[in-house]
Amino acid sequence: MAFFNSHCQSLLIDEFDQTVTAMQIELVETFLDLFETRSFNRTAERLGLRQSTVSARIRSLEAALGHRLFQRSRAGTEPTTEGLRFAPHARRLLHDWTEARRAIRDMGSERATLRVGIQHDLVGEHFSRLIAGFRSALPEASFQFEADYSAQMCADLLSGSQDIAILFTPRYHPDLQFETLGEITYLMVSTETDRLSDVRPDTYIMPHFSDALPQVHAQLLPQLSATSLSIGQNAAMVSLIRTMGGTAYVLRDSARILAEEGIARHVADAPPLSVPIHAGVHLRNRHRGLHRRLLQILRRHFGPGPHHDARRRVG
């Protein structure tokens, strides 16, 4: 089952020699996941496979290439020199395969389908305005939106299964480009008190909306950094406040609603927590017309304008 010309004598190859099958793509996907995790066990868990299946796929790929791609030792699993050289080509193969399937699927269709990933906490009232902006500016396109977390959206951008992502935590990669659009604000609310000095650590829920937030939180509120519960989604925070009570950070709109309903009070002397919003695209798409128009819409939606500050605060 040959992958490349001349029976894979060189790793620096730009295209397939034979038709790519789904099975071959599975080998590439498994390689890339293992390249990231450096753990057969972890890759098996993430892909929902047996460890023996992961090992068998890697052996099949190594046999096709004629080179060892990973070296196992007591210290763990590390890519060989050949594995390091193969990785960028594997990413390109996976991206091209996804784009090829998409092109075939869309043949005969008058509309381009744009796949947009968006951070869970950005799916709120202003989300409908964003969709309206997309559809108004790009009436010739159809859209597929999916709420997700940053890590998965970055992986989807790399594989080509997503066109653009609106996320909190970029995973910087040579094949991805990110830009900062604005920020979203979380406020502390409590069912117990409206003063920061009276917040109890045992009923406080630690926010983890982005990877950088715990460090920011630890600097601002060191007295509340050792808690037994941490949540990374606003909806879950609101649900816990409603059912269990306590103290937590929620989006500005959620804080207002909880206060209006008499469920929780705003802890006014607690510092607000701001999380940057980023847009991410694959480098191959950054100059394409549709992608550039999407980015322009996002800049207007989240960025500076005549009616707000240097960076628009949403939520």
pLDDT tens-digit profile of 144-181?
899 999 989 998 898 888 999 999 999 988 889 999 99
Tens of pLDDT, residues 64-114? 889 999 998 887 899 999 999 998 888 888 877 777 766 665 544 445 788
Residues 72 and 35 in one domain: yes
Q: Are residues 47 and 13 in the same domain?
A: yes
Q: Are residues 25 and 101 in the same domain?
A: yes
Same-domain pairing of 125 and 200? no
Contacts of 75 (CB under 8 A, 6+ apart): none
Question: What's the CATH number where 224 sits?
Answer: 3.40.190.10
CB-side exposure of 232: number of CA atoms within 13 Å?
14
* Of 105, 123, 157, the domain-final residue: 105
**Is residue 51 located within the same domain as residue 118?**
no
| Structural domain ending residue among the three candidates 76, 105, 134 | 105
Same domain, 56 and 98: yes
Over residues 199-230, the pLDDT tens digits come to 999 999 999 999 889 999 999 999 998 888 99
- Longest Cα–Cα distance of the chain, Å, equals 72
Q: Which pLDDT score is estimated for 304?
A: 65
pLDDT in the model for residue 105: 57
Report the range out of 29-43, 51-65, 189-203 with the highest average pLDDT. Answer: 189-203
Contact in structure between 218 and 227 (CB atoms under 8 Å):
no
Could you tell me which residue, 95 or 8, shows the higher pLDDT?
Answer: 95
Q: How far apart are CA 81 and CA 70, in angstroms?
A: 9
pLDDT band at 283; cut points 50, 70, 90? confident
Q: At a CB cut-off of 8 Å and minimum separation 6, what does 16 contact?
A: 3, 4, 93
Same domain, 192 and 50: no
Residues 228 and 284 in one domain: no
Alpha-carbon radius of gyration of the chain: 23
Q: Are residues 263 and 189 in the same domain?
A: yes
CA 51, CA 39: separation in Å to the nearest integer?
10
Residue 276 has pLDDT above 50, yes or no: yes
Do 173 and 281 share a domain, yes or no? yes
> Domain of 138?
112-177+277-314
Q: Which of 105, 139, 169 is the last residue of a domain?
A: 105
CA distance 197 to 187: 16
Shared domain check, 101 and 9: yes
What confidence tens digit (pLDDT) does each residue in 221-263 have? Answer: 999 988 889 999 999 999 999 999 999 999 999 999 999 999 9
| pLDDT-derived band at 308, boundaries 50, 70, 90 | very low
pLDDT confidence bin for 12, thresholds 50/70/90: very low
Number of folded domains that form the chain = 3
Identify the top-confidence range among 101-110, 127-136, 272-281: 272-281
State pTM to two decimals: 0.66
CATH code of the domain containing 60: 1.10.10.10
Q: Are residues 247 and 284 in the same domain?
A: no
Mean pLDDT for 268-279 is: 95
